[in-house]
Amino acid sequence: MCMSKQFLTAFTLFVILITPLASSESNDEFTVDNSEPDMTTGDYFLYDLDMSGLLNSMQDEDIDEVRENSNTGMRMEYGGESCLQTGWNDCRIGLMSWELNLTMIFSSESGIDNDQAEMLMKTESTSVFTENKSEDTTIMRMDMWFSINGEAYHQEIVTTEIAITTPIGESEPEKVMIGDTWTTENMVETTVNEKSRMNAEAWEYEDEVIESENITTNYNAESVSNVYIGNTSYQSLKIRSQDLGSEEMEYTYLANTGMPVKMESYENGSLQMIAILADYSWTNEPMPDSQENTIADDELPGFTILSALMSALFAVYFVARKE
């Protein structure tokens, strides 16, 4: 499973489905309770994404530079209760969207006019989850504009990926604190369909790919760390997660209300991406036990308890495709 899919699937479910509530006293007593949050349709979480590490890793003998022109950040929203998409029972919906605009600077012998191309990447994901399984449908669209000898080209690639995840083995612990370790195992069946075209000609379809695998993920609640958002420091529980046999690793930082305020993604020990909570609306957000992390309105507008004010990664998707 690619890093982009791992991140989106795990993170969307982590934020919307099992966002825990935490109590904060001393570092050693900082405990996370994996109880299900009280979510209301329309609640959302918006994250700013720093992808500089990922973009830098795209540079090679063919690509001299990758410039980020715009990045909407990753918005995740609770979509309410509905089983229309799956026909299951007692379903809840998580929605994710993200858009990234890049300029690719190629080597001087690329053959592309001005040695550059513009790229727009859009991602939308719908997660349907129940107590014992989930279905994630992700649509990734990549548009690239460039010209060769004065002739304009517009390439489109649309990939639809459906992943059905069924937990097997033991469930996650109900409470977590520093030093705790646990393991989850999931059976994942993934179906991928892809189509592409150039200059609005007829679509060309790739063969459908269906894969099944069991994924074992190890978790470790390593420490209590301070996460800075604006001028405010948030005490948070730092949890490391890594799939067995994978070179990819994630850190998630949980604030005292349980919301993930920061996430880091690594590959082969190199930091690829940082996601930091920028804005959210959680109608029934619980009041924290400690008020030490409350942000004044003039420090970070939209980030207070009562405020109404939390895309891949898909540069990885392009890295796998670049020639």
Q: What are the beta bridge partners of residue 253?
A: 238, 262
- pTM value is 0.81
Provide the residue range defining the domain that includes 42.
Answer: 3-319
Place of tokens 């002739």: 151
CA gyration radius for the chain? 21
Which pLDDT value is given to residue 36?
67
Walk along the chain (323 residues) in steps of 10 and give the mean pLDDT of each run: 47 46 57 68 92 87 92 92 91 92 92 94 91 91 96 97 90 80 93 97 98 94 87 84 91 80 90 90 72 37 26 37 39
**How many domains does the structure of the chain reveal?**
1
* Non-local CB neighbours of 124 within 8 Å, separated by 6+ positions: 95, 96, 97, 138, 139, 311
pLDDT of residue 289: 53
pLDDT at residue 81 in the model: 92
Question: Tokens for 11?
Answer: 């993170």
Q: What is the reported pLDDT for 197?
A: 98
In eight-state DSSP terms, residue 300 is S
The pLDDT value given to residue 311? 31
Q: Which residues contact 192 (CB under 8 A, 6 or more apart)?
A: 159, 160, 161, 162, 208, 209, 210, 211
pLDDT digits (tens, 9 = 90+) for 179-229: 999 898 999 999 999 999 999 999 999 999 999 999 999 999 999 988 888
Tokens of 252: 């998630």
The reported pLDDT for the residue numbered 308 is 25
In the prediction, which pLDDT does 34 show?
53
pLDDT at 33: 53
